[in-house]
Every structure is written in C-alpha cells, then in structure tokens.
Chain A
Amino acid sequence: MKYLFPVYGATNGTATSGTVPLNSHFTVSSVNYISIPQGIKAKIWSVRISGAVVNFQIQFTQNVNTSTPTWVTVENISLASAGEVAIDKSRKPTVLEGKNGNEAIQIVWSQSTAAVSYIILDIEFTDEDD
C-alpha cells in the first residue's frame, strides 16, 4: 500500500502560537496530530506555507498515547515576510516510522503578530519496503 494524501491547516489569526488543526480530503473533522500506524512509514514529500509571517514546526513523538507526549521538532519552516515558501523533497522525503503505533506528527506555529498563515504537506503512508 502506498497512499499519498495532502494534509493542510492554518493558524487561527488570533493567537500567536498553537497547534495547527489538520485536515485532509477524507477527514470528517480536523485532528491535532496524525498518528502513524504500526508498520507504516510516513513520508513527507513536500511542505508549502503561505500567508503572514510565521514559523511552523513539524514535530514527532513516540508516545502520543500518554497524557503528556514528548514532541521533538523535525523541521522548521518560516516565512520572514508575507508570501509563500515551497519545499519539495521529491528526491528524498523525510521518513517517520510507526514502530508500535504510538508515533505521531503534529504541527505547531509561532508568530510575533497573530495573523493567518497556511501550511500544506504531501504525506505518503506506505507499508512497503523501499
């Protein structure tokens, strides 16, 4: 199985930091994190951000099922001025593995002035060996 899907979200425009609520074309409602099922590799193929000045962090945890997961920043993406940044990883994606089903990805933001910024990732879930 190889399934590529977009995950997108936005800052709320009223807070200067927070966790981005994430959606995709198949979601009923947004989620605060994307869990990675056991045996699945989550490949982040691209990240695009746009809108107001912002710093987004893609974070990973190995203990999402605990009351206080430990989140580690995998990647920082910033807009120094209003506009758009696109990062294409088509040669080598960032790969995060679900080893026991407790792994997850979240995206947090921080801004000096609260405003709306957008983020979209292309993520592939696969259970196949490369």
Chain B
Amino acid sequence: MYKEELYLVVDIPPEKSAYVFRIDTIWNPTYRLINYGPLPIQANQPLKSFIGTSVTAPANGALAPMSYIEGIEFPLQNVYNLSDMWDVPSSFLANRLFVVEQTVTPEFLRVNAYIPINTVQASFQGNKLSLKISDLWGWKRGKFVMTHFPDILVGYNYANDTSFPVYTSVKFKYWEYVVSIPSDPAIIFNILADFIPEKIVRRIAYPIVTLAPDLKNQLQRLYGFFGFPLPSIERRAEYERKYAEILASPLVRESYLARAGGIR
C-alpha cells in the first residue's frame, strides 16, 4: 500500500459542498504518465467552425484552423468502457476514482469539459449566458484537471482558434485512487475548515456550475449524497451533527460506495 496525501477533497461548487475521501490506496504509485497521443479525430471528420464554413479534420488527430470539436472521449482497448478509458462501472468499482491532469499540445488549444457528456458546465451571470468552447471565455488553454467518478461520462472539447492546421497530442498525468469516506464527523469538519495540514489533503474543484439530473442521479447512486456542506468554522457542533446525519442516512448506507466497503 502506498500513500501520499491522506485525504482527497472534491468541491461541488453548485451545492456549496464537498466530498471528503480518505485515500486508502494510490493504485499507480510509480507510473503516472500516459502519452495518449493524438486526439481521437479521424481524417475528414466534420468539425465545427468559428467562421461558419464547413470544415473537416485535415488528418487523423488534427484540427483545422479556426475549428473545434465537442464531446471527445478517450478510447482504449481492454478497459471496461472501450470508448472511454476514464469510465469505470460503479457497481463494483465505486470506491475508485481518477484525478487526471491533462496537457494537450500545441498548448494554445482551448480545452474544457461537458459533464455529463452533453451538459455545458460554464456560464455567466448565473445561468443567463451559457459558455461553450466556441465562446469568448469559459475554457482554458492547454491544461485541464478533472476528477473522473465512476459511470459519469465526461466529454472534452477542444478548439483551435489559430490559422495553423495542427496535429494534436494529449498527455495525462493521473492518480488512480481507492477511497473511502471518513467515519468521524470531526475529521470531516477539520478538513473542510482547513484545520488539517495542507500537505496531507489534496483539494480539487469539480469543474461544474450545475448538477444536471443525470449527474445528480449518478452521484446519488454512487455516494448517496451530494457532498458535505461547507462549514462555518464557528459552528463546529452544528456541522459535525449534519455530517453525522449524512453518514447515517439510509441512502448513504445503501450506496454503491457503502457496498464497496467505502463507508464504515
């Protein structure tokens, strides 16, 4: 068994909550890098265009100038879901999740993600203005960090807003975590209130602005709740009580994670 940080926190911004996981194992302590290679794009595959004209991929793994593509998953042979290497079945791998740091080159390419695969997850002024990869903002360039939960498909989007027709390439640095949820509400409070040393807690925001129904249903099946409410530090007793109630709730006790031994 190998450990680095002891806990993983995944913030769920639209719920003002966070999942707190104890890291039981890091399945890949040594080998973190996957040079995946070109984006899974076929030559002549239709792409979307910034300038309205029809455009196709100029080669395998390539993006035309001023073009973009949405809903990319990463196929891999001999894994659970052949069309998406980051998807694992929650029915028997509920206690596993991936944190993936992705670098796409050339690094000036835009990248963002739809979660689940067809749901836009960037917006402005609440949900007034939805932000896609083709919009002025609502994306990053070159690098993206994602937490992949079991059975939640993520669609990655890429855009090339330059005059170059580009060959793409993707590199992943990943952590395959085996996790459980701490049974002590005081520990959960201390982690969420930042009373635990930073070096033993890895904290990541899930890049969403809305908990779409499909996503909500899957998180419900997976963990039985939508994260621990972020605490007010002067109300420790109240929040510890809330956390204890969550941990004791039937939905949590019957969740896939509980069945996988991740809730004690």
Residues of A bordering B, CB below 8 Å: 1-3, 5, 24, 26-29, 31, 33-35, 37-38, 40, 64, 101, 104, 125, 127
Flag whether B26 is at the interface (Cβ < 8 A). no
Other A-B contacts than A1-B108, A1-B140, A37-B161, 19 sampled, CB-CB below 8 A, are A1-B142, A2-B107, A3-B106, A3-B107, A3-B142, A24-B106, A24-B164, A26-B169, A27-B167, A28-B165, A31-B165, A33-B163, A34-B162, A35-B65, A35-B161, A37-B162, A64-B163, A104-B163, A125-B107
Flag whether B148 is at the interface (Cβ < 8 A). no
Query: Is B106 touching A26 in the complex (CB atoms < 8 A)?
Result: yes
Tally the A-B contacts, defined by beta carbons under 8 Å: 58
> Across the interface, which residues of A come within 8 angstroms of B107, CB to CB?
1-3, 125
Query: From residue 120 to 172 of chain B, which have CB atoms closer than 8 A to chain A?
Result: 136, 140-143, 161-169
Q: How far is the CA of A104 from the CA of B142 in the complex (A)?
A: 21
Q: How far is the CA of A29 from the CA of B107 in the complex (A)?
A: 18
Query: From residue 30 to 88 of chain B, which have CB atoms closer than 8 A to chain A?
Result: 58-59, 62, 65
Residues of B bordering A, CB below 8 Å: 58-59, 62, 65, 105-108, 136, 140-143, 161-169
Question: Looking across the interface, which residue of chain B has its beta carbon closest to that of A23?
Answer: B164
Query: Is A26 touching B164 in the complex (CB atoms < 8 A)?
Result: yes
B interface majority secondary structure: loop
Instruction: Give chain B nearest CB distance to A87 CB in angstroms.
Output: 23
Instruction: Give chain A nearest CB distance to B39 CB in angstroms.
Output: 12
Question: Looking across the interface, which residue of chain A has its beta carbon closest to that of B58?
Answer: A28
> Across the interface, which residues of B come within 8 angstroms of A35, CB to CB?
65, 161-163
Query: Is A31 touching B65 in the complex (CB atoms < 8 A)?
Result: yes
Query: What are 8 A-B pairs at a CB distance below 8 A?
Result: A1-B107, A3-B106, A3-B107, A24-B164, A26-B106, A26-B167, A26-B168, A37-B161
Which of A1, A29, A104, A125 interacts with B165 by CB under 8 Å? Answer: A29
Query: Is B164 touching A1 in the complex (CB atoms < 8 A)?
Result: no
Given A1-B108, A27-B167, A29-B58, is A127 in contact with B141 using a C-beta cutoff of 8 Å?
A: yes
Query: Is B141 touching A28 in the complex (CB atoms < 8 A)?
Result: no
Query: Is A31 touching B108 in the complex (CB atoms < 8 A)?
Result: no
